[in-house]
């Protein structure tokens, strides 16, 4: 088990290149199986979740080549449509292979996915949508056996909630369906549009991705393509919080301004000065952060739940009382008890509202990452804290942030990864 040891209290300054988006790369990798041929995916971050996705692709019979941030997937010989439980449990995104397998083979055998324990995270919307499209789904010994004996039918799916994963699964499953599949109340996250952009390059007919109504007109044939994954808006917000928490100034290269608008407003509200030129964002922290009176996580284009933990850590030392309401997941304040060990004054009400009374300074402590973004939040808090912090269970952080110690060191942090 590895740990991060961080000596805080230094202002972080400098320039950093942003990694590609994990949550875009994962469904695109699943999509390479659906489209067939050899796909080349650039700007793919080097993360354990990506390795888990590549193992699933290999298991189905794909040939994989990974060269730095480029992944080449040759799915021509793929023939297996079952994914073993041990692979499904590695991450939540394994469920997106369900739509890809159905598109490619007309059937799939999967188990419920794993992933961060941030709430119930059911897959009912994924399954009810596929059933509506004509997929028979039965459970046998914990395995969901999915078949479309009469083919998949075009239909109108009105999602009860704009689920990112369910939208992706429907898009993938409907690629070759004869006729038009319509998703209403679709997720509008930038990662949905990135998936659609990749699929369109491969010959898919999709319109409306990034908006609430997505239309997929099935095509008979698809082909492989070359694609570059969008920048990671959540990791960008993590670097922004590094500057904010330490009173530093950081330039983040390779951002997409539009994707960051919901978080920029919040950082500006806390008193940070932000300038953007082309694809570079410069954030300059104030001497003392201001409180954010009320912040709610919402589906895009609202404030992202994935940036909530990081902003909670940032507001722990802001002037005054901030209130954050988590509206997407039921159990996404697991970083709070760890921040309290560092001296934060935060109470969580009804599991979904965090009331943060800003303290003067956090102090270093031994803490444990409970999930991916909560873990990154602890690292950010430790950078701003006085003294030494030890963060355990950092495998959670490695699922989403590429070589966090290298990036933070580049910005002047005193951070080391050590083995137990």
Which positions lie near ligand EPZ, rule CB under 6 A?
23, 26, 92-93, 116, 119-126, 161, 163-166, 187, 189, 305-306, 328-329, 372-373, 400
* Between 185 and 321, CB nearer to ligand EPZ: 185
> In the bound complex, what is the minimum distance in angstroms from residue 277's beta carbon to ligand EPZ?
28
Using CA atoms in the order 184, 186, 188, 193, what is the torsion angle rounded to 10 degrees? -100
* Between 13 and 331, CB nearer to ligand EPZ: 331
Q: Evaluate whether 24 touches 191 at the Cβ level (below 8 Å).
A: yes
> Closest-CB residue for ligand EPZ?
165
* Between 129 and 246, CB nearer to ligand EPZ: 129
> In the bound complex, what is the minimum distance in angstroms from residue 174's beta carbon to ligand EPZ?
17
Q: How far apart are CA 68 and CA 71, in angstroms?
A: 8
Active site residue 116: yes
Alpha carbon 188 to chain centroid, angstroms = 14
Q: Evaluate whether 166 touches 96 at the Cβ level (below 8 Å).
A: no
* Between 298 and 403, CB nearer to ligand EPZ: 298
* Between 122 and 275, CB nearer to ligand EPZ: 122
Which two tokens mark 393? Answer: 């269970």
> In the bound complex, what is the minimum distance in angstroms from residue 122's beta carbon to ligand EPZ?
4
Alpha carbon 172 to chain centroid, angstroms = 18
* Between 242 and 289, CB nearer to ligand EPZ: 242
Q: Evaluate whether 204 touches 173 at the Cβ level (below 8 Å).
A: no
| CA geometry: angle 111, 79, 54, nearest 5 deg | 60
Phi/psi for 14 (5° steps) reads: 130, -165
Q: Which of 44, 116, 272, 370 is catalytic?
A: 116
> How many residues make up the chain in this entry?
420
Phi/psi for 56 (5° steps) reads: -65, -45
Is the backbone peptide bond immediately before 301 cis, with ω within 30 degrees of 0?
yes
Sign of torsion over alpha carbons 305, 195, 187, 212: positive
Sign of torsion over alpha carbons 234, 236, 239, 244: negative
Closest CA to 252 of 262, 263, 237, 266: 237
* Between 38 and 305, CB nearer to ligand EPZ: 305
Collapsed DSSP state (helix, strand, coil) of residue 75:
coil
> In the bound complex, what is the minimum distance in angstroms from residue 27's beta carbon to ligand EPZ?
7
> In the bound complex, what is the minimum distance in angstroms from residue 297's beta carbon to ligand EPZ?
9
Q: Evaluate whether 113 touches 75 at the Cβ level (below 8 Å).
A: no
> In the bound complex, what is the minimum distance in angstroms from residue 35's beta carbon to ligand EPZ?
19
- Which residues touch 310 (CB under 8 Å, ≥6 apart)? 237, 238, 241, 373, 376, 377, 380
| CA geometry: angle 55, 60, 61, nearest 5 deg | 95
> In the bound complex, what is the minimum distance in angstroms from residue 241's beta carbon to ligand EPZ?
15
* Between 166 and 315, CB nearer to ligand EPZ: 166
Q: How far apart are CA 347 and CA 340, in angstroms?
A: 9
Q: Name the β-bridge partners of 41.
A: 71, 227
Task: Classify strands 321-325 and 353-357 as parallel, antiparallel or unpaired.
Answer: antiparallel
> In the bound complex, what is the minimum distance in angstroms from residue 225's beta carbon to ligand EPZ?
21
Mind telling me the catalytic residues? 116
């Amino acid at each position: 088990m590895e740990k991060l040891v961080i000596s805080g209290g230094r202002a972080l300054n400098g320039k950093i290149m942003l990694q590609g988006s994990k949550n875009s790369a994962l469904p695109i990798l699943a999509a390479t199986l659906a489209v067939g041929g050899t796909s080349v995916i650039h700007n793919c971050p080097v993360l354990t979740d990506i390795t888990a996705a590549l193992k699933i692709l290999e298991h189905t019979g794909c040939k994989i080549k990974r060269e730095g941030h480029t992944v080449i997937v040759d799915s021509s010989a793929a023939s297996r449509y079952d994914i073993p439980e041990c692979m499904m449990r590695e991450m939540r995104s394994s469920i997106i292979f369900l739509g890809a397998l159905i598109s490619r083979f007309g059937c799939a055998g999967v188990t419920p996915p794993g992933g961060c324990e941030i709430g119930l995270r059911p897959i009912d919307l994924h399954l009810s949508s596929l059933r509506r499209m004509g997929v028979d789904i039965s459970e046998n010994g914990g395995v969901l056996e999915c078949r479309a004996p009469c083919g998949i039918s075009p239909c109108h799916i009105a999602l009860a909630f704009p689920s990112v994963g369910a939208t992706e699964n429907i898009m993938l499953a409907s690629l070759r369906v004869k006729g038009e599949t319509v998703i209403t109340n679709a997720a509008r996250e930038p990662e949905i549009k990135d998936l659609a952009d990749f699929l369109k390059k491969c010959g898919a007919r999709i319109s409306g991705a990034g908006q609430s109504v997505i239309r997929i007109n099935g095509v008979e044939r698809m082909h492989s393509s070359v694609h570059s994954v969008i920048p990671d808006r959540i990791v960008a917000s993590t670097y922004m919080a590094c500057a904010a928490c330490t009173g530093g100034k950081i330039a983040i290269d390779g951002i997409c301004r539009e994707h960051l608008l919901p978080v920029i407003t919040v950082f500006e509200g806390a008193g940070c000065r932000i300038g953007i030129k082309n694809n570079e964002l410069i954030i300059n922290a104030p001497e003392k952060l201001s409180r954010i009176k009320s912040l709610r996580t919402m589906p895009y284009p609202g404030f992202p739940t994935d940036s909530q933990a990081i902003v909670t850590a940032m507001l722990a030392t802001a002037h005054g009382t901030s209130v954050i309401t988590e509206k997407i997941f039921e159990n996404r304040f697991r970083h709070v008890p760890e921040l309290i060990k560092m001296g934060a004054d935060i109470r969580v009400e009804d599991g979904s509202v965090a009331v943060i009374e800003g303290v003067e300074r956090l102090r270093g402590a031994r803490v444990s990452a409970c999930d991916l973004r909560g873990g990154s939040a602890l690292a950010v808090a430790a950078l701003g804290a006085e003294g030494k912090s030890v963060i355990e269970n950092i495998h959670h952080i490695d699922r989403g942030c590429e070589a966090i110690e290298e990036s933070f060191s580049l910005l002047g942090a005193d951070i080391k990864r050590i083995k137990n």
